[in-house]
Structure 1
Amino acid sequence: MKMRNVLGAALAVLCLQPFGAVRGQELPQLQFKAIGLNSPTVASIVDEVPFWRETIPRASNGRITVDITPLDQMGIDDRTMMRLLRLGVMDFAGMDISKMAGDDARFEGCDLAGLTLDADKARAACDAWRPIIDRQMQRNWNAKLLAFGGNPPQVFWCRDVISGLDGLRGKKVRVFNNTMRDFLQGIGATAVSMAFAEVVPALNSGVVDCAVTGSLSGNTARWPEVTKSLYPMSLGWSINVLAVNLNTWNRLDARVQQFFLDQVKTYEDKMWKTLKEADAQADNCNFGRGQCTMGRTANMTLVPVKPEETETHKRLVEGAVLANWARRCGAECTREWNDTVGKALGLTAPVP
């Protein structure tokens, strides 16, 4: 083959490489600060911390490093994460998006309590809602949405062995967002807002009777030491997001932006894969049934969800949860939801 043809073929191959395939040695030397999710959660342990401490430096050939600290290790109230990101306290932030709903009800739009009961539908709902969340972040919070992730199903962990849904009536139950509060109001339970790090002592002392968190997140945070039963009625997925301060992002040149976009796409896929793996292992870990590599073997009592309770769950979600959220979010927001998440899930929220 003539040299001209060889060079032409090589050039053609290079042109076929995606623009995002930026070689680490071509990147500038940069350092960033990130504040992340609660450290005992599966999402933090398996995905987030290794992403910043290992994946990014390795993929950039050591050119880009990120100092990541989980929010609970900094004593930060997670409901303030979006405000801190807007101020530029950190460059990147991982946060449970529904906890930001006190500032904008749209932030809980793809993780309303009980809205989806499998991981693929949860991801489809958030993909449909992605443009709205990104728009709100950029418009009002000086931030840019990079990725969605999640945790295993959010279920009930109780100090005693409860009878089921009726057994929650009159109980004080820890929740962490408004839409869970709507659901509990519908079953006659009292919702108590509480940070993740405060739950174990609250359960231990009886400040709350039950608490909602992920089916494996509670396990890795040692909740079986202060609870006896687990009632697996799902109240969502504790959807988390990765976002970046917009000033930080706009200062980056196109090569660095593309590098992060490429890495974040893989990271997002991995988070959803981890969620499914954690969900599959949760019963083994919590009830001592078999292989448990992602948590700690425990001996919880499973309180099965009865068929009639499943119907009650559906009725509460489509009634109280959707209706109350729509009133908080407003008519324009609700119409956007119906055209995006609603279409993806075959649901319609009542326009207030």
Structure 2
Amino acid sequence: MLKKVLLPLVITGLSCAAQADTINLRVLGQPSGSGLIAQQKEQPFFEQLAEKTGLDIKVEYLPVDVAGIPDTDGLRVLRSGLFDIVSLRGPQVSRDEPSILGLDLVGLNTSYAAGKKHMDAFSGYVGERIDSQFNAKLLGVWPAGPQVVFCKPSIQGLADLQGLKVRVGDQSAANFVDKLGATGISMPFGEVQQSLARGVVDCAITGPASANSGGWPEATTTVLPVALQLAVNGYAINSNTWAKFTPEQQEKLASAISELNDDIWAFSEELYQDAMHCNTGSPDCKRGKPYSLTEATVAESDLATVAQAVGEVSLPIWAKQCNAVAADCEETWRKTVGTQLGL
């Protein structure tokens, strides 16, 4: 009889021990309506992470808007441990950690190749800051895509933004449009389409793929495809969660997320080209919804204005902001990215 009593208890104990070994990961993702990167790359990756890595983990993935958390709170959420892994929206969280803006100042990353080089050069410093200030490990960064200008009134170039209200993604973009005589307005992505339709803002800056997913072409007439930034994003994991994994497990997890980052870099470039086709009604549109925006021709003067913005606008203003929280911020940027630019 004693054996009959003890055996089920032993089995139950072993079962509980096995369950205790499973690591639960709560992942806070990109907004549900932000586009195909979140829908076709990020969410499937995390939902299949246990199978992909062979790790004994259970993953719960929630888009940031579904979770009811402001995307500006990504780093605070990481530090609190409320979520274990966060898909950081760089521009949005940069108010809590200004060094992140140094990865993607206006005028810095006007192409994917430039963006990869500059982000690689400075992401190590950003990772150190996130570690020391938010108890988290940066696992890589990736671009949503070139940030271009969508307007309800017809425009022909950047000069036509003077006097208009422009939705911007971060302070660097706000400073840039201010120099153009426009007013930069920050607002969540999900509110932009209606704000354009109602005239709360005249223009808005984002990537063509995100604009297509968000229905922006329904409320605008013109797209000016001059790349101001690449909209840097990234993945970070709470350091206490990271410590739950063995070194071998950490390597598997980091390697898998590194592959995701590389995949998104390539996919982002594909999406940009396709979304431009879709937004302007080209028959080459494959992935998005077709619209009929007018594509303004980018003048050489606009390209020059954007190129000059790094040294004249975005770097000086950002450096003061970043140096205020980290004395070595600008110095490190100039030794890494700045060296590549002659700044």
| Aligned residue type for 2:93 | M
Match of 1:49 in 2: 43
Match of 1:332 in 2: 328
Match of 1:134 in 2: 127
Residue 315 of structure 1 deviates from its aligned partner by 2.2
Match of 1:341 in 2: 337
Whether contact under 8 Å (2:138, 2:237) holds in the other structure is yes
Q: Report the secondary structure of 2:259's partner residue.
A: helix
CA RMSD of aligned residues (A): 1.5
| Aligned residue type for 1:89 | L
**Residues 124/131 of structure 1: CA separation in 2 closer, same or farther (3 Å cut):** same
Residue 62 of structure 1 deviates from its aligned partner by 7.7
Whether contact under 8 Å (2:85, 2:236) holds in the other structure is yes
**Partners in 1 of 2:309 and 2:58 — Cα distance?**
46
Match of 1:15 in 2: none
**Partners in 1 of 2:37 and 2:204 — Cα distance?**
19
**Same amino acid, percent of matched pairs:** 31
Match of 2:73 in 1: 80
**Partners in 2 of 1:61 and 1:334 — Cα distance?**
41
Whether contact under 8 Å (2:175, 2:313) holds in the other structure is yes
In structure 2, list runs of 5 or more residues that go unmatched.
1-20
Residue 201 (str. 1) matches residue 194 (str. 2): yes
**Partners in 2 of 1:263 and 1:30 — Cα distance?**
16
| Aligned residue type for 1:96 | R
Residue 280 of structure 1 deviates from its aligned partner by 2.0
Residue 284 of structure 1 deviates from its aligned partner by 1.2
**Partners in 1 of 2:135 and 2:257 — Cα distance?**
19
Q: Report the secondary structure of 1:243's partner residue.
A: strand
Match of 1:216 in 2: 209
**Residues 42/113 of structure 1: CA separation in 2 closer, same or farther (3 Å cut):** farther
Larger mean CA deviation between 267-276 and 248-257 belongs to 248-257
Q: Report Cα offsets for 1:239-289 as digits up to 9, x if no partner.
A: 001000111111222232121012112111101011111122122111121
Whether contact under 8 Å (2:130, 2:138) holds in the other structure is yes
**Partners in 2 of 1:74 and 1:347 — Cα distance?**
43
Residue 100 (str. 1) matches residue 93 (str. 2): yes
**Partners in 2 of 1:336 and 1:320 — Cα distance?**
19
**Partners in 2 of 1:177 and 1:197 — Cα distance?**
15
TM-score, scaled relative to structure 1: 0.87
Q: Report Cα offsets for 1:75-129 as digits up to 9, x if no partner.
A: 3211111001100010000011232221222111110112111112101111111
Residue 144 (str. 1) matches residue 142 (str. 2): no
TM-score, scaled relative to structure 2: 0.89
Residue 61 of structure 1 deviates from its aligned partner by 4.8
Match of 2:10 in 1: none
**Which of residues 150, 155, 172 in structure 2 aligns to 1:157?**
150
| Aligned residue type for 1:124 | K
Larger mean CA deviation between 99-108 and 173-182 belongs to 99-108
Q: Report Cα offsets for 1:131-177 as digits up to 9, x if no partner.
A: 11110011110111001111121111111211321210010000121
**Partners in 1 of 2:110 and 2:193 — Cα distance?**
26
**Partners in 2 of 1:194 and 1:30 — Cα distance?**
36
**Partners in 2 of 1:321 and 1:341 — Cα distance?**
14
**Partners in 1 of 2:228 and 2:304 — Cα distance?**
14
| Aligned length, in residue pairs | 319
Q: Report the secondary structure of 1:216's partner residue.
A: helix
Whether contact under 8 Å (1:46, 1:274) holds in the other structure is no
Residue 347 of structure 1 deviates from its aligned partner by 3.7
Q: Report the secondary structure of 1:115's partner residue.
A: coil
**Partners in 2 of 1:44 and 1:226 — Cα distance?**
23
Residue 59 of structure 1 deviates from its aligned partner by 1.4
**Partners in 1 of 2:331 and 2:105 — Cα distance?**
16
Residue 122 (str. 1) matches residue 115 (str. 2): yes
In structure 1, list runs of 5 or more residues that go unmatched.
1-27
Residue 321 (str. 1) matches residue 314 (str. 2): yes
Match of 1:179 in 2: 172
Whether contact under 8 Å (1:42, 1:151) holds in the other structure is no
